[in-house]
Amino acid sequence: MLSPVTNPSASSGEFCSSPGAIEQVRYGCSLGALASVIAIPGAIPITHCGPGCATKQFHALSGINGYQGGEFHVPSSNLGNQEVIFGGADRLDELIASTLKVMEADLFVVQTGCIPGLVGDDVGSVVRRYQKRGVPIVVAETSGYRGNNFTGHESVIRAIIDQFVGDDKVDKQPGLVNVWSLLPYQNPFWRGDLTEIRRILEGIGLEVNILFGPASRGVSEWRAIPRAQFNLVLSPWLGLSTATHLQEKFDQPLLHEPTIPIGAKATSAFLRRVVEFAGLDRARAEAFIAKEEQEHYVYLRDFACFYAGQTSQYQLPSQAIVISESAYNLSVASFLVEQLGLHPGPFVITENPPNEFRERIQQQYRALADHVGAEPLFEQDGHRIHELVRARDYTGQLPIVFGSTWEAALADQIGAPLVEIGYPCTDEVVLSRAYVGYRGALQLIERTYTTVVRASTMA
């Protein structure tokens, strides 16, 4: 058992960047938010860090995590002895100047790693000189020891909003929404999911700044952020600080939906809440929901044949164990319990959410379905997570694990199939697959029960 290490500087409510030693890591460092920049079409990160930092972050978050690929040709100062001893600000200046000569982008985001933070480079003043010349460039402090790629993501977003989008309050465009949801690349299914989220929101009459991924129009969406009627935070906590900031900065109201909806029941209810909040045309929204549900339930009706055991002898799982970051954890747990009728098992949240949000996250789990709740656990260390899960009694149940690559051995030990839903996800090749909304739910069912069938037939 690893000894818990308390953070002397972290009072409650503050993000504890270093909750103790970790085996089987499940997130990157702050610099890993360069993946969020790469996720914005037309944006390029410029990394001011050691020679291996940027590559390691992106290859971990993208390369081997669902084999997502992506535009990786990131300018980097690749700091060496000289810059550690004499400082690296001049080297960064040289790198930015040459980047502008070689590369083309709508937006450059300078990100710092551990080295400039420790040697004290004045990165801000280097970047400001370019900003004064009108170069679309911002700087975000993302030293690896300051946090993880979740908090780095919010630092990067804050930098773009404050240094690039600007301060001008503009007229609002009714029906335009900024969406803050899944962490790009960290969640292997973010591309398909954001596409589905965009699709269903457009379906009820909204115009959407989805901001990241193939479904985004890129930097022009970021410029349009101040025009939005409201901000939608579709995650348990990530994006809340961004949306709160925008609320103050641009008087934009904020709708917080902690659970990304999976399946018709949750999705239709979610859409109706958005319709009420934004004051949209109800009839139009209901027409969309009706059409979606009609198609969706044809598939569920037919899936019921398999689920009821009509032609099969498989032992279907009865209890859900979910080990992942909170956004997918909460969504998948809700779907499995409320819509598929599984018993709740251990739910372990792995991304070290800031303390101030934990109570609110716990509340969500206490009402997964009528009269059914659970207490989620917060733990980052793989070894301890597996001890916690193994310690539960599964007598009479057939558990199924939704987790990461690290859960393969655990799943074997407790005789459960494993569906990979989170980082690191090395046994899935993911392109546009989605697991949320109406269409994603069907794919999640497909993947889940294909896994179950294969586990039965191959054992």
Partner 1 sequence: MPLNLKNPQVETRDQRLGTITQWEGRADQLVKDSAFTYGCNKGCDNGGRRLCEQSTPFAQASMCAEHIAVTNATIIQDSVVVQHSPIGCAASQSFTARYYRDLAARRGWELEDPKSICTNLGEQDMVFGGVERLEQTIRDAFERHKPRVIFVATSCATGIIGDDVDGAAKRVEDEIGIPVVTLHCEGFKSKHWSSGWDVIEHGILRRLVPQPPTKQPDLINVIHLGGPDVFTPLLGPLGLRVNLVMGGNTLERLAQMSEAAATVTMCFVLSYLATGLEQEFGVPEVRAPLPYGLDATDNWLRDIAKLTGTEDKVEAVITSERARIAPELERLRQALKGKRGFVAAGAAFAHGLLADLRELGVTVDDAFSFHHDPIADSGDPQQDSLGHLVETWGDVPNYTVSPDQHFQAHAALLRAKPDFVICRHTGTLAVLAGRMGIPVLPIFYSNDGLGYEGLLTIGRAILRVLPRKRFYDDIAAHSSFPYQPWWLAETNPYAAITEPA
For partner 1, the binding residues in 369-428 under the rule CB under 8 A are: 383, 405-406, 408-409, 423-424, 426
Closest separation in Å from C-beta 369 to partner 1: 33
N-terminal to C-terminal alpha carbon distance within the chain: 33
For residue 379, give both structure tokens: 């733990």
- The answer to whether 22 contacts partner 1 (rule: CB under 8 A) is yes
Distance CA 405, CA 419 (A): 9
Three-state SS at 235? coil
Closest separation in Å from C-beta 105 to partner 1: 6
60 vs 349, beta carbon nearer partner 1: 60
For residue 10, give both structure tokens: 């972290």
Q: Of residues 77-96, which lie at the interface with partner 1 (CB under 8 A)?
A: 77-81, 83-84, 94-95
Closest separation in Å from C-beta 206 to partner 1: 30
For residue 395, give both structure tokens: 């007598």
- The answer to whether 255 contacts partner 1 (rule: CB under 8 A) is no
Distance CA 68, CA 341 (A): 32
For residue 247, give both structure tokens: 């609320």
Closest separation in Å from C-beta 215 to partner 1: 17
Contact mark string toward partner 1, 121..150, x via CB under 8 A: ----------------------xxxx-x--
Residue type, 193: D
- The answer to whether 24 contacts partner 1 (rule: CB under 8 A) is yes
Q: Of residues 181-200, which lie at the interface with partner 1 (CB under 8 A)?
A: none
- The answer to whether 166 contacts partner 1 (rule: CB under 8 A) is no
For residue 353, give both structure tokens: 């959410």
Distance CA 47, CA 54 (A): 7
217 vs 227, beta carbon nearer partner 1: 217
β-bridge partners, 179 = 232
Applying CB under 8 A, among 12, 36, 57, 415 the residue interacting with partner 1 is 57
Q: Where do the DSSP E strands lie in 141-192?
A: 173-180
Closest separation in Å from C-beta 23 to partner 1: 5
143 vs 267, beta carbon nearer partner 1: 143
Q: How many CB atoms sit inside 10 A of residue 234's CB?
A: 26
Q: In sequence order, what are the residues at sequence separation of 6 or more whose Cβ sits closer than 8 angstroms to the Cβ of residue 446?
A: none
375 vs 412, beta carbon nearer partner 1: 412
Distance CA 382, CA 404 (A): 10
Closest separation in Å from C-beta 328 to partner 1: 17
Closest separation in Å from C-beta 386 to partner 1: 11
Instruction: Answer whether 417's CB lies under 8 Å from 400's CB.
Output: yes
281 vs 412, beta carbon nearer partner 1: 412
